[in-house]
Structure 1
Amino acid sequence: MERMRTRKEHPTGPAPTPTPAPSIPPPRWAVRAAQLITLLALPTGLWRLAMVCGFPSGYTEAGFVPFDTPGSKLWMLTLSVACELLALLSLGLVRPWGETVPRWIPVIGGRPVRPLAAVVPAAAGALALTAIWAAMPLWWTYPHADLTPTGRLLVGLIYQPLVLWGPLLGAVTVSYYRRTKGSRTAHTNTP
């Protein structure tokens, strides 16, 4: 009799595996903060890309010479792409792919993300970014002989928002940790 019920309920075979309980949605402020992070790195990346294309971007003729080499251009291009990709990773802390690996990724696709696997690098990144950009508000107190006055103002303005990157990432990371801390024990038995 039990078998017949199973067949009626699941005519194509055995019962499907239960889906995990829906996760707690991130707070709206965390989603907005993660989205803002992706925009913070954009102005500096575009500024460096302009330099890669040969535009002095506020540097004097002599100040631009070190940046007008193939090695420098490759470095600036790599740095711009890497910064934006790292900024985009913050979205994983507020999107479903930050809790379950997307299915299209080979081998591990569809598996749950262990919360600490996201929290530890994100927290380390938040601390590092906070330390790296902490002195940026002092930009105008230092001489910049290699920049034109307009370039000095432009560079100072486009780099100032990066001061927020570390603290915002830290706040979003804490939010992610709080939302997923209950699932840590569920993932300990996952292969």
Structure 2
Amino acid sequence: MTTIQTAALRLAEDAQDLLFRQARTANEFAAEPVTEEQVQAIYDLVKWAPTAMNSQPLRVVLVRTPAARARLADHLSEGNRAKTAAAPLTAILAADTDFHEHLPTTFPHVPGAKDFFADPAARAESARFNALLQAGYFVLGVRAAGLAAGPMTGFNAATLNADFFPDGRLSALVVVNIGNPVPAEFPRNPRLSYAEVVHTV
């Protein structure tokens, strides 16, 4: 990173490294457990992420017990089962399609909100989009705790939802393995350059 680029960012460079440049998507973890205190600290940080109309539809299910882990494994693609079984903690990140029930009572006075919430399809689409936005922040929160995250979408959403969320209110979006990182044994893939991604009109 050049001096100019460093000066343009207010976040300390070691924090930039922790959250972005040195962070890796993890497939293997050290044996240390992930504590409830760590998870709560992660959530208390990432709950400030932006969502449309402050809807906050993300719900997190921590899969800790052997029975729950075995159930989850049945819904994962073959390539994700072994690393999930070995991870200290796995979280199911899901969207709550009835997120509006948790909004302040004054919220329906926002123009158009009442009609929007009355439409289940629009509500479900908004829940999915905004929960995925929150999921990205959740990964950053895991990294901020000095842990590594291994987000996965390789699972059968229909069977996972039927098993873990049979009332239909929640819809699984991402399964994330969490733990203390071990050094990656393969080189990092390149990223697109600024010129390849950013255009001004």
The alignment's TM-score, normalised by the length of structure 1, stands at 0.29
Counting helix residues as a fraction of each chain, which structure ranks higher?
A: 1
Relative to its length, the structure with more strand (as a share) is: 2
Higher-Rg member (1/2): 1
Normalising by structure 2, what TM-score? 0.28
